[in-house]
Amino acid sequence: MALITHLQVVSVPVSDQDRAKAFYVDTLGFELRRDNPMGPGQRWVEVAPPGAATSLTLVTWFPTMPPGSLKGLVLATDDVDRAVAELHERGVEFLDPLTDAPWGRWATFDDPDGNGWVLQQSR
C-alpha cells in the first residue's frame, strides 16, 4: 500500500474569500464543498471542479503566500476550445491565444487575485 494516496487540497492565496468563491463557483463552474468558520475571523472555503478528487481551499491566513503568488496550476478539460469560448463569455480574460504543444492544447488566465492557471486539453 502506498504511503501517500493522492493530493487532497491545494491552498490558493486570495485577498477576499467571497470574491474568490464567486469567481471559482459562478464563473468557472466549480462546486462549493465547504464554507465554514475555522477560528476567530477565519473561514475554510473549499471549492472543486464537479466530481474532482482534489479541491482548492481559498486562504487568507498564510503570510508567506500573498494573494496572487500561486502560478502554473493546470486544470484539465476535454474540449479546450469550447471551454475557453464559454469562460471568455463569462468574463475570464485569457492571457494568450490557445497554444498547441506536443502534450496538448492550452491557454492561461488569472483569477481575480492574479493566481495563474493553465487550462489544458491533453493529447
CATH number for position 102: 3.10.180.10
Amino acid at the residue 110: D
Distance CA 121, CA 20 (A): 24
> For residue range 38-54, what is the model confidence (pLDDT) as tens digits?
988 899 999 999 999 99
- Asked whether residue 92 falls in the same domain as residue 54, the answer is no
Number of structural domains the chain divides into: 2
pTM of the entire predicted model? 0.94
- Looking at the domain assignment, is residue 51 inside a domain? yes
- Asked whether residue 110 falls in the same domain as residue 80, the answer is yes
Question: Of 69, 61, 65, 58, nearest to 114 (Cα)?
Answer: 69
The answer to whether 87 and 98 have CB atoms below 8 angstroms apart is no
- Asked whether residue 14 falls in the same domain as residue 57, the answer is yes
> For residue range 22-79, what is the model confidence (pLDDT) as tens digits?
999 999 999 999 999 998 889 999 999 999 999 999 999 998 999 999 999 999 999 9
The range of the structural domain enclosing residue 41 comes to 7-61
- Looking at the domain assignment, is residue 36 inside a domain? yes
- Asked whether residue 57 falls in the same domain as residue 90, the answer is no
- Asked whether residue 16 falls in the same domain as residue 35, the answer is yes
- Asked whether residue 15 falls in the same domain as residue 46, the answer is yes
- Asked whether residue 22 falls in the same domain as residue 57, the answer is yes
- Asked whether residue 11 falls in the same domain as residue 57, the answer is yes
- Looking at the domain assignment, is residue 2 inside a domain? no
Distance CA 29, CA 92 (A): 12
